[in-house]
Chains A and B, each alone.
Chain A
Amino acid sequence: MNITRIFKIYIKEIKEIIRTSGLIFILVIVPMIIYPFMLYYTEQTALKEKNKIDSASLSIFIKEPKLLPNLSEYIPSDEKIKILKNGNYEKIDKDCNLIISLEKQPDLFQSGYSNINATLIYDSTDKYSLKALNKFEEILLDVKKEITYERFDEKNIPSDIMTPISINTKNIASVKKITGNLLGNIIPFLLITFIMSGAMQIAVDITAGEKDRKTIQTLLISPAMRSDIIISKLLVVITVSLFCGFMNLLSMYITVCFMKNSKQILNGMNIDIQSILLGILVAIPLIIFLSSILTAIGVASKNQVEAGLYTMPLFFLDFLPLIALSSVEIANISNSNFFIPVYNTALAIKLILISSFTWQHILITVFSNLLYSAFFIFLCIKLFSNEDVIFSGIGDTVGIFFRKLFIKR
């Protein structure tokens, strides 16, 4: 292995990547400008919409209002709620956000009290209607409670009979644990997305892309050893993956800092520098692992189209372990979980964020990922040294292998 030569090929590849406008768009423009802009714009739009709904005046129509004559007294004075008195409203639209249909129920138990059945008619696709529903569910509960107490008073029954058990909840999870748990589900997902979106393009471009552009033969006739060539290409993919993964997360973090609603999350995050460094340490072997798989796929493919076909399922496959992550019970985690690629890193990052990791978890994650990476790096070198794979692609090579087997039999 010639380190100087590896470095020279590496620099050449990086130079080429920098000059590819399409790749620069994916690697720099998208994470640094498009994603933050989209995130900021989405937050601002959502905020605007929320403010609009909050400040909107709601119109309610009550059918048979005489059954609950004092209902309007329960509406807080600061709420912009208008009770429609004239007309007969049958559907929900901008003029009428909620219809409360009151009906007198028969006194089946002959208690001497008349009970009322209130049906709230709303449109779940209309945000104003949903807001009106939530408000009036609360108001009607207050009315119900008030009437119940009045009836107990009339019968001289103490009102605490209604509350035989008083339920109180106390969350002992620290703010760090709560936000860590939330971020532990989001960060690995974002990390994998960012790594794959950047590295996939590069791995395919510098391997299968070279076959398409017919430059692979130009490189292969040089005195550079094939192992040197493929290792330099792999290093390029790793560099780009690292760049994509961390630059995207950093740009996300900076964007979140500018978002009004996210200040609470940031205040609660309280992630120390040790946790960040440990997270990076755990993520690097995963980046090497994914880069080596993508490079192996690129080398094995006949052309860029074929490489695209092979990499796309891998992209989706990577998210399967992350789906399992949200339902994992931290108390029941065994060491074997940390041998499962992708899942192990996501789990380790989650545990780091909630401060529940053990060094055993970290070591198993790092070393198992490094071991899997070593296997795929070895595979990359073997594939790149195979003239059938280089000139025909793995599809034909595997087909020929089975054909040979079949012919022999």
Chain B
Amino acid sequence: MNNIENNIVISLENVSKVFYDLKKGAFTALSDISFSCKKGEIVGLVGPNGAGKTTLLRIISSLISPTSGTVKVNGLDNSNHGEKNKKDIGFLSSDTAIYERLTGKELLLFFADLYGMKKDLALERIDELSQILDFKKIENRVCKNLSTGEKQKISIARALINDPNILILDEATNGLDILARKHILWLVKSAKEKGKTVLYSAHAMDEIEKLSDRIIFLYHGKLISNGSTDDLKNKFQCDDLTQCFLKNIEQYEKNNDEYNKNL
């Protein structure tokens, strides 16, 4: 109830995730992560490879469960309401491929069906999305015959088919050309205009800086900073977000070394 009153749509409390690897053994992918996202907020996740960004976004989307801690979407705990919470999330990543043997329209209708949308409503929504994303001409073509950019359009439409209030984008622009990347950036901007919450991870700092209301720095599975671009620039005394991140890491490593020495 408190979350809803405060317009908090995503909240994480002490979320940790431990994976077991055949070679490395147990390793902590996420350690004690707590933060929240408000309605209409765009939150950028920044971190190097292996920082835990994908794991974090997968946990929020109920794809995997945390080892400990709580994740709530619209005030509902993922551990009990995972299936229900999924209905309010649109998830897009480089690992969410489309069914290449279906046509774009069939694929979108299939996912609309899974979201419990009526066929008339789904067709209307597909029509609306096809006009916005400009895929009307290709919607009846089998996806395997589409170009990467065209596939990306169908993929975005898939994530938006049920008009979710939360959008989670996990390095969705990776490996895409300028035109395909443009669609993702449009997606984030239009979501903001509609008052939707976006959780967005990318390696391109300029993108993050331009789009995000708030930025979270993740490093070695830990949340090391959380604030607006200006807050972070002031905190680390630099003009560039990349510089801020590097200073933050340096500071974190230093503190960590001192902590280890004291131990």
- Does A409 sit within 8 A of B, measured CB to CB? no
Q: Is the CB–CB distance between A8 and B91 below 8 Å?
A: no
Is A224 positioned at the interface, with any CB of B under 8 Å from its CB? yes
Q: B252 in the interface, Cβ–Cβ < 8 Å?
A: no
Q: Report if A214-B97 is in contact (Cβ < 8 Å); known contacts: A19-B142, A225-B83, A399-B22.
A: yes
- Whether B97 pairs with A16 at a CB distance below 8 angstroms is no
B158 at the interface (CB under 8 A from A): yes
Give the Cβ gap from B56 to chain A, nearest Cβ, in Å: 15
- A12 contacts partner chain B, Cβ-Cβ < 8 Å: yes
Q: Does A332 contact B (CB under 8 A)?
A: no
Choose one: A20, A217, A221, A391; the contact of B101 (CB below 8 Å).
Answer: A20
User: Is B236 part of the binding interface, using a Cβ–Cβ cutoff of 8 Å?
Assistant: no
Cβ < 8 Å to B, chain A residues 1-53: 5, 8-9, 12, 15-16, 19-20
Is A83 an interface position by the 8 A CB rule? no
**Contact B83–A223 (Cβ < 8 Å):** yes
Q: Which residues of A contact B84 (CB under 8 A)?
A: 223
Q: Is A155 an interface residue (CB 8 A)?
A: no
Interface string of B201-214 (1 = CB under 8 A from A): 00000000000000
Interface size on A, residues (CB 8 A): 28
Which of B37-45, B60-68, B216-224 has 4 or more CB atoms under 8 Å from chain A? B60-68
Contact of A12 among B61, B63, B98, B110 (CB under 8 A): B110
Is the CB–CB distance between A223 and B114 below 8 Å? yes
Nearest chain A CB to B160's CB is how many angstroms away? Answer: 13
A16 touches B101 (CB 8 A): yes
The yes or no answer to B230 lying at the interface (CB within 8 A) is no
Q: Is B114 a contact of A15 with CB atoms below 8 Å?
A: no
Mask: chain A, 207-223; 1 = CB below 8 Å from B; 0 = not: 00000011101101111
The verdict on A223 contacting B116 (CB below 8 Å), with A217-B93, A400-B22, A404-B20 known, is yes
Would you call B25 an interface residue if the criterion is a C-beta within 8 Å of the partner chain's C-beta atoms?
yes
Q: How far is the CA of A5 from the CA of B83 in the complex (A)?
A: 13
Complex interface: chain A residues within 8 A of B64 (CB): 387, 391
Give A5's nearest chain B residue, CB to CB: B114
CB of A100 to closest CB in B, whole Å: 69
A12 contact set on B, CB distance < 8 A:
99, 102, 106, 110
**What is the distance, in angstroms, from B165's C-beta to the closest C-beta of chain A?**
14
- Kindly name the residue among A9, A221, A396 whose own CB sees the greatest number of chain B CB atoms within 10 A: A221
When distances are taken between beta carbons in the complex, the residues of chain B under 8 Å from A222 are: 86, 111, 114-115
7 chain-A/chain-B pairs, Cβ below 8 angstroms: A9-B114, A15-B106, A215-B96, A217-B97, A221-B61, A403-B20, A403-B22
Instruction: Beyond the given A221-B63, A221-B86, please list 6 additional residue pairs across the A-B interface where CB-CB is below 8 A.
Output: A12-B106, A15-B106, A19-B142, A221-B96, A223-B87, A387-B64
Binding site for A on B (CB under 8 A): 20-22, 25, 61-65, 83-84, 86-87, 89, 91, 93, 95-102, 106, 110-111, 113-116, 142, 158
10 nearest A-B pairs in the assembled complex, by CB-CB distance: A214-B97, A400-B20, A218-B96, A19-B101, A222-B114, A221-B91, A16-B101, A223-B86, A387-B64, A399-B22
